[in-house]
Amino acid sequence: MTKKSKNRVRPTVVLAAVVSVLLSWGSVVQGQTISLSIPSLHATSKDRVVGFEFHLKSGRIAQLPNVPIGWNVSVDNDASWNTVIKASSTVGAAAVDPSFFRNFLVVEKNESLGIPFDVEGEVVLTEDFTAEKRVKVGVKDLVMKTVASKNPTSGK
């Protein structure tokens, strides 16, 4: 062997090291998957939901199981684990009942950066489609249920 070939790093060794680091990082980043519900919006029987906006800290939107027809939905799953979801109906007929918020969102909670998980936002309600009321929602207003996660690296 020449001196040059002795100092050469084998590509397979580098690849194995990179894969090992990525897999261990992935297991640290993998968080708890939870379903969110809002059991009480303090809405009247005539109230219809025409929009909502939620800001998550240390979380990402994993699923929105039921997107109503006639709604615009925007999700910003920022790499910082600060996420925003905004949604609004495009026509009055697309407004939904407050029961929409039963298991309406699945999020992945990730506190690996040392920032506690938090959710805050508001739901926009109307009775007559001319006047709106905005109901503030915080993590204390939510019911959270753990959802079995599907981790592609473990085959679960």
What ranges do the domains of the chain cover? 31-146
Instruction: Report which of 147, 85, 87, 140 is spatially closest to residue 117, judged by C-alpha positions.
Output: 140
Dihedral class, residue 111 (left if φ above 0, else alpha if ψ from -120 to 50, else beta): alpha
Residues in the chain: 156
Residue 99, helix vs strand vs coil: helix
* Sole residue written with tokens 């684990």: 81
Burial 48-61 (b: 16+ CB within 10 A, else e): bbbbbbbbbbbbbb
CA 79 – CA 110 distance, rounded (Å): 12
CATH number corresponding to 31-146: 2.60.40
| pLDDT string in tens for the chain (156-residue length) | 555 555 565 554 444 444 443 443 443 446 899 999 999 998 999 999 999 999 999 999 999 999 999 999 999 999 999 999 999 999 999 999 999 999 999 999 999 989 999 999 999 999 999 999 999 999 999 999 999 765 544 444
What is the C-alpha to C-alpha distance for residues 102 and 41, in angstroms, rounded to an integer?
A: 11
Task: Classify strands 32-37 and 143-146 as parallel, antiparallel or unpaired.
Answer: antiparallel
